[in-house]
Structure 1
Amino acid sequence: MKNTIYIYLVILISTLSSCTDVIDVEVPTADARLVIEASLDWEKGTSGQTQTIKLSTTTPYFDTDETNSVTGAEVTVTRDKDGAVYVFEDQLNGEYTTDAFGAILEESYTLKVIYNNETYTATETLLPTTSITSVTQSRDGGFSQDALELNVYFNDPADETNFYILRYHEVGDLYPTLSSVSDEFLNGNEIHLFFEKDGDDDGDEFEPGDIVDINLYNVSETYYNYMDILISQSGSSGNPFSPAPVELKGNCINITDADNYPYGYFRVTQTDSETYTFIEDEDE
């Protein structure tokens, strides 16, 4: 009887094994495009002279080991009013840097990237930003009951249209969290924004001792719309192989071949920053 059962098991396992087929899935690919990460941020209280621009190329989804950093490009930024040119030196790792950038508020700047005999350009104006007036913590304003949250306050200037990006980066996290807000219904008033971890369990909530770096940017309407879409798409879930709802293009254009457009954005803005450390509640 035991031998019979053993024989049946061998036959069953062999049958199941023989039913396994290897399926080759053809994943669609596209030609590599240049990706321009050019965020020139002048932090209040600094000279703003040290700036970095990153260049890379898009890669196929499964080519995780492929190096996509771009080297050998020519990168410059020109202040349009007086023609001052700032050369960004190739660091041979995809980064291009300068220690001599001249930041002047309300001035227009033009980026030029020459790569593979094609020229990419973009233009932005260096906008001033308001200051963060206060950062506090609380437990009663977020979506999760009793979870620690961060409150950021700043005053919106009256009689002008402003668009803001807030960047929250918890020390130790790989990526920051971004949020966008306009003063369409808040013009001239104090703006209060809160930041709470988006977790499914208590282990994902803020705890006393956690440190968060905060940056406030006043940005152009074009960049605000770009980031609003990016934030919305990055927060959505779904099939990783499905295309993005919108192909997100920035303000960089290829003046040599318009069809070979790049991804990314050229931004020039002032920023105000604060660092907050969560503390124990008085009632704990």
Structure 2
Amino acid sequence: MKKIGLLGLVFLIFIGCEDVVDVDLPEVDSRLFIDAFIRIDESDPTTRVRVNAGLTSSFFDDIPPADLQNIIIVNLDQLNGAGIPSFVTLTQTSPGVYEARENTSFFTSGRLLLSISHEDQDYAALTNYVPAVPIEQLSQGDQTLFSGDETEIVISFVDAPDRQDFYLFDLDFDEYLVTEDLFYPGQRFEFSYFYDDGLDAGQELQVSLMGVDIGFYNYMNQLIVQSGGDQGPFQTPTATVRGNIINVTGVDIDTIDFENIDSLEEVEGIDPENVREGFPLGYFAVSQTFSSSIIIE
């Protein structure tokens, strides 16, 4: 008790000596943020799509929701009875959240175009469905790293042969990891992931493995590094990392080369400033997902 009282006194003295320092932070222009990462479970005949839209603000502020004028996903290679590409219109279910349910087959073949309108600006992104492989085994290990309080989880999977694969792991608790099969093509791969704060006995942990393309792999790799694992890369954009969503205001989408975004600056009728600075943050990706869970011992 005496030790506790002494520590409390020292703490109060420390607080009493603190000065309040006002820091002038730079003004930051608001920017649209779109989280359009769609996870596909092929065992489910339908898929619920959820896209989050927000507006970035100044330092330390929360991201307010964005009120979109329109948001649709078009499958350019699936035509309806009238010969028009099939599309899904997302509706707002809560502030900044847009959802729809559609047949899973809509997302697993063909080129998928995301089209968004916000404050009289048009945005678009093009992607393809990326397959993954199942998690072979998820188990708890007994190794630690530095503090001795970490929890080790061992994950294994078998890489698909005859193709180049990039993977994103959702390790629960807003922790993510990316890997590519450069050194284990077509082979079984096993690795350990350590949770710094440890996990409680009886706690359930869910791990998901998702297939991604090289663009989303690089994008997520940058965000994971910047987030430092504290908030997760989907929480608050920590820097202007350019995704695959571009400003296409005033442009015929059919003329856009999505593989070479910078070429948009040369398109007649487009504002080059919109190409360089008017893009929103975020990414549009559609990934096959396999999940597995484990109870911590």
1:216 maps to which of 206, 209, 217? 209
Matched with 2:192 is: 194
Of the structure 1 ranges 22-31 and 131-140, higher mean CA displacement relative to structure 2 is found in 22-31
Contact 2:144 2:194 in 1 (8 A): no
Provide structure 1 residue ranges, at least 5 long, that are not aligned to the other structure: 1-19, 170-174, 199-203, 238-243, 280-284
Could you tell me how far apart the structure 1 residues matched to 2:147 and 2:182 are?
28
Contact 1:89 1:97 in 2 (8 A): yes
Report deviation, 1:132.
Answer: 0.8
Q: TM-score, normalised by structure 2?
A: 0.75
Label 1:80 to 1:214 Cα distance change in 2 as closer, same or farther (>3 A).
Answer: same
Report deviation, 1:27.
Answer: 0.9
Aligned letter for 1:119?
D
Label 1:254 to 1:278 Cα distance change in 2 as closer, same or farther (>3 A).
Answer: same
The correspondence of residues 1-284 of structure 1 with structure 2, limited to 5 A, is 24-64=22-62, 68-82=64-78, 83-103=85-105, 104-140=107-143, 145=148, 147-169=150-172, 175-198=173-196, 204-235=197-228, 247-256=240-249, 257-258=274-275, 259-279=277-297
**Superimposed CA distance per residue, residues 220-247 of structure 1 (whole angstroms, 9 cap, x where no aligned partner):** 000001011111111189xxxxxx9973
Provide structure 2 residue ranges, at least 5 long, that are not aligned to the other structure: 1-17, 79-84, 231-236, 250-273
Of the structure 1 ranges 270-279 and 205-214, higher mean CA displacement relative to structure 2 is found in 205-214
Report deviation, 1:208.
Answer: 2.4
Q: Per residue, is there more helix in 1 or in 2?
A: 2
Aligned letter for 2:108?
L
Rg larger in 1 or in 2? Answer: 1
Report deviation, 1:146.
Answer: 7.7
Label 1:106 to 1:143 Cα distance change in 2 as closer, same or farther (>3 A).
Answer: farther
Could you tell me how far apart the structure 2 residues matched to 1:21 and 1:216 are?
48
Aligned-residue RMSD, C-alpha: 2.5
Q: TM-score, normalised by structure 1?
A: 0.78
The percentage of counterpart residues that share the same residue type is: 25
Report deviation, 1:47.
Answer: 2.5
**Superimposed CA distance per residue, residues 248-270 of structure 1 (whole angstroms, 9 cap, x where no aligned partner):** 11100011232311000001111
Contact 2:144 2:150 in 1 (8 A): no
Report deviation, 1:43.
Answer: 1.9
Aligned letter for 1:49?
T
Aligned letter for 1:75?
I
Report deviation, 1:124.
Answer: 0.9
**Alignment coverage as a number of residue pairs:** 243
Contact 1:109 1:123 in 2 (8 A): yes
**Superimposed CA distance per residue, residues 33-64 of structure 1 (whole angstroms, 9 cap, x where no aligned partner):** 10000011112421342111111000112444
Contact 1:248 1:263 in 2 (8 A): yes
Could you tell me how far apart the structure 2 residues matched to 1:111 and 1:162 are?
24
Could you tell me how far apart the structure 1 residues matched to 2:149 and 2:21 are?
49
SS in 1 for 2:225: helix
Aligned letter for 2:223?
L
Could you tell me how far apart the structure 1 residues matched to 2:124 and 2:58 are?
25
Label 1:139 to 1:187 Cα distance change in 2 as closer, same or farther (>3 A).
Answer: same
Could you tell me how far apart the structure 2 residues matched to 1:99 and 1:253 are?
25
